[in-house]
Amino acid sequence: MIVSKNSSPSPSNPMYPTYIFRGHEEQIMNLEFDENNSYILSGDSGGTIIIWDLITKRPIIKFQGHTKGILRVTLFHNKLISHGRDNFIHIWKLDQYLKHLKINELKPFCEESKLNPENSLFINSSSFCKFDLYCKEGIEQEEILVAIPSIKESSGIDIWNLSNKELIVSSIGLDDKRERGYCMALKLFQISQPNNYLILASYENGSVVLWSITINQIDTSSKDDNKRIVVDQLWNCKEHVESVLALDISANKKFAISTAGDNKIVKYIFDENYQNKPSIKSTIIKHSGIADVKIRSDGKIFATAGWDAKIRVFSSKTLKPLAILSYHRDSIYSLAFSRIFEQDSINQLEKSDNNNENVSLIDNNNNNNKIVNSVDEVIKHYLVGGSKDHRISLWEIY
């Protein structure tokens, strides 16, 4: 059973958020935790990006990242990567800024933060599809591969090397009859073969497709792309009657969840080789319109963001509802789970804290320094939801 530590869920004793983040002036479009649960990253429909310190609950950086709404913002290998409706993906180098940041030197909301992107890529953002990325360890340096709707037409998918802005694969799925419509959500991942990638993509017509992309050689001088790149459609499932708005895949790559403009939640259980159509489970909820879905890193639960201003938590195994989180007054557009650490990682974090690596904070009530055990905070099981009401709710669940 999933409960908040603040209360036990019941009609007479509803659950309440642990904290409410206020700092955006537009609706929240994207939320993510960094890999260490130290920060929450948020982006709004006005193009503003905020990085929040999870311990102090304060914003440490706030800046205008894009001229239009944020589709996704993520902190990846000490670099912030943002995707906007202004047809750009920006890379921001923040590692030195964060390393030398002192909590007691912060000004409210860090309005003075003027940052310039280290690199930018012009892409197609005519749909609301967010990019997905995969990091490939190269011989000389790492390569960050990005999957995004095609620059030619949003029904296709492109794969770019973000490190050198090289277009690796163009217009995946574009040669079909375009009956699927725009690509609405996608996930790029790799299983075992070093030159083979899989893209799980959802479309306007309610279908979810698994694409296989094999890159036989990385040679930009090759003029015969048909021999260099092989694209196969492994399967196509159409379980929704409305556009599939959101898609997530479990950390172990064994199943995925899709949600749509309808009131159906679909689970796709993959076979070992991903070649055959997945086993399908589904459930129906009362209200239509699910803007986002996120699976927790341990795969045990997932959450949905409803147009009805409700966050719903489900069992990944049975799809049974476990909790309804009600705080926001308007539609919820984005969700994020904190990472669930293995015990070895927790022991390592605790060892760091014991070596005087705790975080020194300022107590605003009496201006006295106090030590906060950062491990206690980052290992908590958090869920955040971002809404049209400009607020971000933080929930602690088991």
CA-wise closest residue to 278 among 235, 239, 242: 235
How far does CA 212 lie from the centroid of its chain? 22
* CATH for 19-340+381-396, options being 1.20.120.1810, 1.10.101.10, 2.130.10.10, 3.40.50.1470: 2.130.10.10
44 beta partners: 28
226 burial via Cβ count (<10 Å: 0-12, 13-18, 19+)? exposed
Q: What percentage of the chain's residues is helix, strand, coil (to nearest 5)?
A: 10, 50, 45
Per the CB < 8 A criterion, the answer to whether 81 and 132 are in contact is: no
Residue 385 and residue 388: Cα distance in Å, rounded?
10
Most distant CA pair in the chain: distance in Å?
Answer: 69
CA-wise closest residue to 240 among 311, 175, 288, 168: 288
CA-wise closest residue to 248 among 239, 240, 257: 257
What does the pLDDT read at residue 96? 55
89 burial via Cβ count (<10 Å: 0-12, 13-18, 19+)? buried
Per the CB < 8 A criterion, the answer to whether 322 and 3 are in contact is: no
Residue 306 and residue 293: Cα distance in Å, rounded?
9
Residue 16 and residue 3: Cα distance in Å, rounded?
10
| CA angle at 33 for the pair 30 and 36, rounded to the nearest 5° | 165
What does the pLDDT read at residue 249? 98
Per the CB < 8 A criterion, the answer to whether 378 and 36 are in contact is: yes
How far does CA 1 lie from the centroid of its chain? 25
Per the CB < 8 A criterion, the answer to whether 92 and 51 are in contact is: no
Query: Cβ contacts of residue 200 below 8 Å, gap of 6+?
Result: 186, 187, 189, 208, 209, 210, 211, 247, 249, 256
What does the pLDDT read at residue 217? 63
**3-state SS assignment for residue 235:** strand
Instruction: Write the DSSP string, 57-113.
Output: --EEEEEE--SS-EEEEEEETTEEEEEETTSEEEEEE-HHHHHT--GGG--GGGTT-
Query: Cβ contacts of residue 321 below 8 Å, gap of 6+?
Result: 285, 312, 313, 314
The CA-to-CA distance between both ends of the chain, in Å, stands at 8
* Per-residue tens of pLDDT for the chain, all 398 residues: 344 444 445 444 568 999 999 999 999 999 999 988 989 999 999 999 999 999 999 999 999 999 999 999 998 877 899 999 999 999 998 765 665 554 434 444 454 456 789 999 999 998 889 999 998 765 456 789 999 999 999 999 999 999 899 999 999 998 666 789 999 999 999 987 888 999 999 999 999 999 999 988 655 555 555 558 999 999 999 999 999 999 999 999 999 999 999 999 999 999 999 999 999 999 999 999 999 999 999 999 999 999 999 999 999 999 999 999 999 999 999 999 999 876 555 455 555 555 544 433 222 333 333 333 456 666 789 999 999 999 999 999 87
Query: Cβ contacts of residue 161 below 8 Å, gap of 6+?
Result: 143, 144, 145, 146, 168
301 beta partners: 315
Token look-up 């609706």 returns 27
Domain borders along the chain are: 19-340+381-396
Per the CB < 8 A criterion, the answer to whether 43 and 32 are in contact is: no
- pTM assigned to the model: 0.86
Query: Cβ contacts of residue 390 below 8 Å, gap of 6+?
Result: 22, 24, 25, 26, 27, 28, 44
What does the pLDDT read at residue 306? 98
Residue 303 and residue 295: Cα distance in Å, rounded?
7
Residue 188 and residue 160: Cα distance in Å, rounded?
12
Structure tokens that stand for 119 in this block: 């690199």
